[in-house]
Structure 1
Amino acid sequence: MTLIFAHRGSSGTHPENTMISFQEAKRAGADGLEIDVQLSRDGEIVIIHDEKLDRTTNGTGYVKDSTLQEIKSYNASHPFGKHYGRTEIPTLIELFDWLLGNDLLCNIELKNGVFPYPGMEEKVIGLIRSYRLEERIILSSFNHYSLVHCVRIAPELETAPLYRDGLYMPWVYAQSIGAKAIHPSIKAAPDYIINSAIRAGMKVRPFTVNNENRMEELIRIGCSAFFTDFPENAVKLRQKYK
């Protein structure tokens, strides 16, 4: 069965990377979440996509330059504030506390391509282990050096390189860095690449798939999973193939 991961939660209809968005993804029947993590100035793991606060909150400046207390003071409900009121940027601890009450999978994207965030891998992995969530977590990143570091310090965790452009035999590359899956842009994931990778024992989870015709095609060919901003639509489509 093709699994459905809610990209930043149900971000097509709810404030991205917030507990509201994650709760909606669970209600919609998603199999997993996709989140993004960075570090605050005081070293706390926070869930936010952009390096800057400006797009998704009423704050300004870089996440790395704000303390957790400052980050918590910002409203993260943009652009859905009129519908859902005020909501905060969550910490990874808050999300993990909630995950203990359900069986959702969680893909954690390490946002360390622009700023390296030294020690972030160790902090995230330490938290995963302390919550005993190893079987439910996937670590992904566009920073493949970071993923190799994760494999070295936590070989029990699944890793998956993110990439946007066409790679030749990407399953071979992924195997070479110890990954168990590939997370290509949907634009770099034609059916023959998906099928070839799966035949080679590599899971394939393209991002970000919002077109319903493409969702249906991925489900039909048995793609491992995909990331979407509209998990409710994807779940309804998948029901036709059960």
Structure 2
Amino acid sequence: MTLIFAHRGFAASFPENTMKSFTEAQKAGADGIELDVQMTKDGELVVIHDEKVDRTTDGKGYVREYTASDLRKLDARYKFQELHKKEQIPFLEEVLNWLKGNSMVCNIELKNGVFPYKGMEEKVISLIRRNRLENRIILSSFNHYSLVHAFRLSPEIEIAPLLTDGIYMPWIYAESIRAKGFHPHHRTLHDSIISLSLKHGIEVRPYTVNNEHAMERFIKLRTSAIITDDPAKGLAIRKACMQEN
């Protein structure tokens, strides 16, 4: 069965990468969440996609130039001003602590391609181990050197490289870096790549799948998971596909 991962939480209807977005994804019935991690000036791991706070908060500037306490003062509701309650940028520790109360999988994307945050892998792994979530976490990144480093630090935590372009025989590449799967851009993903990867025991989880026809295609091809902004839509399409069978 194709799992439904909520991209930055239920980002289609709630402020991305906030606790509100994650809890609403859980309420919708998502199998997992995907989130992004950056590091503050004082070394705290925070959940936000962009290197800058400008797009998703009422603040300006780089995440790495804020202290954790100053970052928490920002309002992360951005385009969802109809929500009455201010939303903070979460700490990764806060999200992992919440995950202990449910059974969801969590895909943590290490956002260290633009700024190579020193010690990020060690800090993320330490938090995962402290919360005993090793078997429910997937570490992904466009920085594949970082993923290899993370695997060497903690071979018990799954890694999955993010791919923007199609590569030749991606299941072989995944195996070469000890990854159990890969996360390709959905437009690069041919049917044969899915079937051959799965045949070789490599999981395929395309991002960011929001189109209904694309969702249906991946579900019918038994893709390992889809990463979507709208988990409710994905779950409804999965249910319809299962009823057809």
Q: Same fold (TM over 0.5)?
A: yes
Mapped to 2, the partners of 1:65 and 1:20 lie a distance apart of: 25
Give yes or no for contact 1:77–1:84 (8 Å, CA) kept in 2.
no
- Aligned equivalent of 1:165: 165
Note the alpha carbon deviations across 1:35-59, whole angstroms, 9 max, x for none: 0001111101000000000000011
1:164–1:187: 8 Å Cα contact kept in structure 2?
no
Q: Is the 8 A contact 2:29 2:232 kept in 1?
A: yes
d(CA) in 2 for partners of 1:227, 1:105 = 12
Give the corresponding residue for 1:219. Answer: 219
Could you list the runs of 5+ residues in structure 1 that have no partner in the other structure?
none
Within 5 A, what are the aligned runs for 1:1-242? Answer: 1-242=1-242
3-state SS, counterpart of residue 13 of structure 1: coil
Q: Deviation at 1:97?
A: 1.4
Matches of 2:3 and 2:178, distance apart in 1? 22
Distance of 1:69 and 1:192 partners within structure 2: 48
Shift of 1:85: 3.5
TM-score normalised according to structure 1 size: 0.99
AA aligned to 1:23 is T
How many residue pairs were aligned? 242
Deviation per CA, 1:160-194: give whole Å up to 9, x if none: 00011110001111111111101000011111111
Deviation at 1:12, TM superposition (A): 0.7
Deviation at 1:84, TM superposition (A): 4.7
Match for 1:55: what amino acid?
A: R
RMSD: 0.8
Give the Cα separation in 2 of the matches to 1:118 and 1:84.
37
1:200 and 1:102 mapped to 2: Cα distance? 31
- Contact 2:216-2:241 at 8 Å conserved across structures: no
- Helix, strand or coil for the counterpart of 1:81? coil
User: TM-score by structure 2 length?
Assistant: 0.97
CA offset digits 1:122-158 (Å, max 9, x no partner): 0000000010000100000000000000111100110
* Amino acid of the structure 2 residue aligned with 1:132: R
Give, in whole Å, the separation in 2 of the partners of 1:215 and 1:221.
10
> C-alpha displacement at 1:241, in angstroms?
2.9
Deviant stretches of 4+, over 3 Å: none
The C-alpha deviation readout for 1:66-123, integer Å capped at 9, x for no partner, is: 0001100000011112235310000011101111111110000000000000100000
